[in-house]
Each structure stands twice: as C-alpha cells, then as structure tokens.
Structure 1
C-alpha cells in the first residue's frame, strides 16, 4: 500500500504473484467476490504471451519489471496466470477468459512446456524438469502438465512432458520430491529425495488424462 495514495501501486503488480492469489482465492470460494473479479480482469487485460518477436510492451504497468514484461514474457507469469484462469469452473468462463486461456496455453505449446520455442530440441528451463511442491512463484513441467490436463488440452507438443513424468515414477509406483522451498516456509512440507504424496497426486491426475 502506498503511503501517498492509500492504495496499491500499479508499478508493483507482478503476474506470477497475482496468478497465485487469484488461484488460491478461487479455490477458497471467492470467485463471486468483486475484488477477485478485478484481479481476473487485470489478467485478461495485461497478461502477455510474447515470444521475443516483438518490442517490449510500454506503459505504466510494464515499465518497472522488465524481467516480467520484456520482449519475451516471463514463463512464471504466464504459468501462474494460466493456472489461475484454469481454476475458474468451465460454466463460469466467458469468451474473454476462454480466449486468454487459449492464448497462454498456445504459448506453452510453442515451448513444448520447458523447451525453447525457436529451438525445440534445446531445454530452456532445466529446473522445470525437477518436480517440487509447493512451488510458490516458480513452476515446473509437472505442474504445467497438470494444468493442461485439467483443461483437457491434448496436443503432440505435450508428448515430451508426458514421457518425462512417466520416466520419473519409481519402482514403488510413486514420485519423489526433487525441488523444495520448505526452507522459506514456517513448516517443512515433505523432504527432498523422498516419496511425495503431492507430486504423486499431480502425476497420477495428469497421466490419467493422457493415458
């Protein structure tokens, strides 16, 4: 909150954290709250899916954080805002929401989720190949596949990610925690290198859609 305006500052809004808050509040039952509606409208209005082919966007919203709003949109911002919109129940999605979901999904299909769009044989996000929970502002290939599964999007561009998830299943039939931000939290949520009920839930849920 600004001491001068007594409200939030436009220049301090970033997409990944906005997406996380919208997702959480939808899951907590606040979809009809007017304030959440404004946050969803912000995503529809400002979230970008630029792939390095255009000039960076200009304006008060975009000028402060070039890592979020450069000529190539931040993967985390696209991921978390797509996650937020995917949490809106299908009957509640209007044409603008559906169009933005498609736009953001197409962005990740071009990248094969974690690869380079212009060189799809190269990995752009090696960290996304290590599955974690919770991920806070970060994301990974499994979280993205889970989002695509919830949207029932099927495309050959997802095949590498599906294979990656399948390969990581242990002989016991579960998935291990490979990435963790527990050191930043008040409590430890599972342990790296150990079987994870949260990673396993995501993997099973996603692979059920793509079996």
Structure 2
C-alpha cells in the first residue's frame, strides 16, 4: 500500500489540473485566495478538454442547436455544462456565465422552477420537467456560484417540493408533475432522480441549508441507504443497479456507487 504522502503527491500532479484543483480545495482545505488553487483553476481553463468544449460554444451561449439543449445527447448545452462543472471550470469566465443564462432562460419552467427536456414559448415545457435534469442543472448552477439567483433558488424549491422517495407504494403519485413520466415517478421513485436531487442540495453549504433542504437531503440519503446503494430494498440479495459498480466519467444523468458514496460521506 502506498503511503498517504505518495498518494497526495500523485493527486497533486499537474498533468490533470482538475484533480489537482479538487485535491487542493477539498482534501487540503485551501481557500479561493490560495495561489496554488488559483493557478490550478487557470490550468483547468487552459486544458485541452475545457478548451475543445468552449471552442465549440455558440456566441449566444449554447452548444449544437438551441432547441436541442437536452435532446442533443451528448454534445448539447446540458451535457457540456455538466462536464465543465465536473472539471472545475471557472464560473467567472464570461462563456460559462453565458451558458448558465442560456439554460435558465430556455430550459427552466417559469412557474415551478423545474427544468424541462424541451422548451416552450416561455422557458421549459411544463409537461416535460424531469427530476434528474432539474437536479443536474441545479447542481451545475450552484457549483458555478449562482446560489443567490432567484431562478436557482426556484430550482432548489422545486426539488424540496416535488421530489419523491417512494419505495414501492401501492398507487403511483397523481397530478403534475407525476403523471407524465412513469419511469421517473411511478410506484418507485427513479434512483437517478433521487441521486441528482441529493447531489444538488449537497452543494449548498451546511450553514446555508433551509429546513426543507436539510429534510430532503435526509430523506434522499435514507432512500439510498435502505437500498444499500445499488440493491433492491425488499430483497437485498438482488442487485437493482449492477451497472453502478462499473465506474466511468462523465456520468451525465446516470450515477454509480462511487458518486453516491461520496455524497453520503459529504453529508456525514
């Protein structure tokens, strides 16, 4: 087994500036004024992966085609934003800000705050709001420093209001937004919707979490623990999600055991 110092040195190698950045920030506790942390973020923005994504961005902030922000898998706006956020791209960059404003304008359902897979005449289509997409976009926007934006708060409120944690109830939930996508809600809540909701809310600093956020996080964590992460809660000898033991990146709307375990660890 490698000594801890050797592992730390490996994580701090400059070859992968995203890993270096998150090691400095999350493992070593450096704050945003730290020179090494700032240099690592500059290196992220200059890295080939980030550069090739930003080079393909339209001046109006989107990728591929505006209306295909979600359905253009996996080269359109939603997916590029997810990758940029996972890599630790700089939220102060004007191109990142432009992309965030685009997705808020085009994909968010105005009345509820949820995010829809297709837009309508005035933002996201109410009948096409998805829990995993809402969680993912809320996480992206929070990670990019937009917690104070009322539209992002509306997305957080959507999660705390509508996200469910059903584990094989007798009758599927009725009414909006539950009656459109049985695969998302039904009698058993979609695991991916739960995980992405948990991921978004966990991005909020503990001291800034409202009571509804803390309660929703607790319910999401319990849902995953009851399932032993990837098993069937009513028969733990069976794996409900065996694919979650095959790790990869980027996860997009999917998840895996590592992402879930990291979230649970972050939540204590």
Cα pair 1:82 1:104 within 8 Å, conserved: yes
Cα pair 1:11 1:63 within 8 Å, conserved: no
2:249 to 133, 136, 151: 133
TM-score normalised according to structure 2 size = 0.55
What residue number does 2:219 align with? Answer: 103
Unpaired runs of at least 5, structure 1: 153-211
Is 1:14 matched with 2:130? yes
What residue number does 1:2 align with? Answer: 120
More strand by share: 2
What residue number does 1:84 align with? Answer: 200
TM-score normalised according to structure 1 size = 0.69
Question: What is the 5 A alignment of 1:33-52?
Answer: 33-52=149-168
2:191 to 66, 75, 90: 75
Deviation at 1:9, TM superposition (A): 2.0
| Secondary structure in 1 matching 2:231 | coil
CA distance in 2, matches of 1:9, 1:83: 24
CA distance in 2, matches of 1:97, 1:134: 26
Question: What is the 5 A alignment of 1:1-211?
Answer: 1-3=119-121, 6-152=122-268
CA distance in 2, matches of 1:2, 1:143: 33
In the TM superposition, structure 1's runs of 4+ consecutive aligned residues that sit over 4 Å from their partners are: none
Unpaired runs of at least 5, structure 2: 1-118
Deviation at 1:8, TM superposition (A): 2.2
Give 1 or 2 for the bigger CA radius of gyration.
Answer: 2
CA distance in 2, matches of 1:104, 1:118: 17
- Structure 1 residues 141-161: Cα deviation after superposition (integer angstroms, max 9, x where no partner): 010001011111xxxxxxxxx
What residue number does 1:157 align with? Answer: none
CA distance in 1, matches of 2:155, 2:210: 15
CA distance in 2, matches of 1:38, 1:90: 19
